[in-house]
Structure 1
Amino acid sequence: MGPLPRTLELFYDVLSPYSWLSFEVLCRYQNIWNINLRLQPSLIAGIMKDSGSLSAMRFLTAVNLEHPEMLEKVSRELWMRIWSRDEDISEPQSILTAAKKAGMSAEQARGLLEKISTPTVKNKLKETTEAACKYGAFGLPVTVAHMDGQTHMLFGSDRMELLAYLLGEKWMGPVPPAVNARL
């Protein structure tokens, strides 16, 4: 039996293509490195004061609160819409389309979309964004490693080699062989 999983938090906004890079790499490595990856949708506007992804990030916050098992897929689909297909992610219908494509039922997605303006969702997104700021975030993505009673904050998507070193793991590139075999 290997070491107990270490916890990594990834603070991200789908408006950030660099967040997407970190997201994909950490999702690929979570089992290889035996890490407990906690996805933390955050509002880059709360850090940089200017963004157009408020609805999308509130939607992801609602997903995280009620259907966390769908968070990875819905986040990925929103990134695909905005950065791969140059499609909108701010309009309600765009968000519903992304959620459906990610495998969420139309009923689930509509229910979550109705909750994006609730105090619960607004406060959770604000709380998560403030947590990133408390760790020292000045942009996104931010990865926070919790291990051996210490907290380590890394900014950017180009810090994976440093993260591997910190974890005592081997960096095998953005698509490790175990994942590459499945592709």
Structure 2
Amino acid sequence: MTSKKVVELFYDVVSPYSWVGFEIMCRYRNVWNIELKLRPAFLGGVMQGSGNKPPGLVPNKFMYMTKDLNRLSQYCDVPLSPPSDPFEAMFKKGSLAAMRFVAAVQEREKGGDGQVEQVSRELWRRIWSEDKDITQPASLSEAAMKAGLSTNEIEELLKLSTSKQIKDKLKSTTEEALEHGSFGFPMMVCHVNGKPEMFWGNDRFELMAHCIGEKWIGPQPDKPSAKL
């Protein structure tokens, strides 16, 4: 078997599109010959650094996003249910504390992304399925507990997430995303023949598969119909 191609997934739990991309890439991790690396970053920093504007500032785009997420939820089997005030959840409250917490989980879990995956998923579930807060320590603790972390581990992570070490880590990953040309999430970077290839969004998986020499069989590759 040829060596696995590295695919980096840059994401933020405040982004519903990131959740869709995250779940699809996790599903394809065992279908394609790839090594998936999770790269939690800060969407707010990418938006500011790239000069991009939130969809809430473009009314037609915001209205379309609501319909689009409903269709994506059904098609990709991701339990998306927009919060009562998506603009407030995404851009007024933001995700800085949540992403620092995820970065702390990753720092503590050196050598693997299992807990990072579970904690990220629970944070997405809180904001994009249950309309709950992801900014306060209590809400981060609840998500981490559902992901299987112990009370002692959570206390350690909450403390670590406010350290300069983790703030610098998240900032560095966000800057790296910008260096790859990111203007939003999800962003995948495929390393092919020593060259990074950047793909943005949830409608580029087929093109990405072609680039890495794999086959795209839909957002739910484990379903029998996907293999027909």
Distance in 1, Cα, partners of 2:211 & 2:158: 39
Distance in 2, Cα, partners of 1:86 & 1:160: 28
Residue 55 of structure 1 deviates from its aligned partner by 0.5
Distance in 2, Cα, partners of 1:69 & 1:84: 21
Distance in 2, Cα, partners of 1:45 & 1:82: 16
**Partner in structure 1 of residue 200 of structure 2:** 155
Equivalent residue of 2:26, what SS?
A: helix
Distance in 1, Cα, partners of 2:156 & 2:26: 27
Task: Name the % identity.
Answer: 49
Q: Does structure 1 residue 55 correspond to structure 2 residue 97?
A: yes
Q: Provide closer, same or farther for how the CA distance between residues 90 and 179 of structure 1 changes in structure 2, counting only shifts above 3 A.
A: farther
**Partner in structure 2 of residue 65 of structure 1:** 107
Q: Does structure 1 residue 107 correspond to structure 2 residue 152?
A: yes
Q: Provide closer, same or farther for how the CA distance between residues 174 and 108 of structure 1 changes in structure 2, counting only shifts above 3 A.
A: same
Letter in 2 for 1:53: S
Deviations 1:89-142 (A, max 9, x none): 111100000000011111111110111111100000000000000000011111
Q: Does structure 1 residue 96 correspond to structure 2 residue 146?
A: no
Q: Does structure 1 residue 118 correspond to structure 2 residue 118?
A: no
Q: Give the RMSD, CA atoms, in angstroms.
A: 1.5
Give 4+ residue runs of structure 1 displaced > 2 Å after superposition: 177-180
Q: Which range moved further: 128-137 or 29-38?
A: 29-38
Deviations 1:12-50 (A, max 9, x none): 000000111110000000121021111001001101138
Q: Does structure 1 residue 11 correspond to structure 2 residue 10?
A: yes
Structure 1 residue runs of 5 or longer lacking an equivalent are: none
Distance in 2, Cα, partners of 1:147 & 1:133: 19
Q: Which range moved further: 48-57 or 131-140?
A: 48-57
Residue 83 of structure 1 deviates from its aligned partner by 0.3
Residue 149 of structure 1 deviates from its aligned partner by 1.2
User: When the two structures are superposed, what TM-score results if normalisation uses the length of structure 1?
Assistant: 0.93
User: When the two structures are superposed, what TM-score results if normalisation uses the length of structure 2?
Assistant: 0.75
Equivalent residue of 2:161, what SS?
A: coil
Distance in 2, Cα, partners of 1:102 & 1:160: 28
Distance in 1, Cα, partners of 2:224 & 2:116: 20
* Structure 1 counterpart of 2:211, from 152, 163, 166: 166
Distance in 2, Cα, partners of 1:136 & 1:101: 34
What is the aligned length?
179
CA contact (8 A) 1:41 1:60 kept: yes
- Larger radius of gyration, structure 1 or 2? 2
Distance in 1, Cα, partners of 2:114 & 2:201: 25
Structure 2 residue runs of 5 or longer lacking an equivalent are: 49-53, 55-90
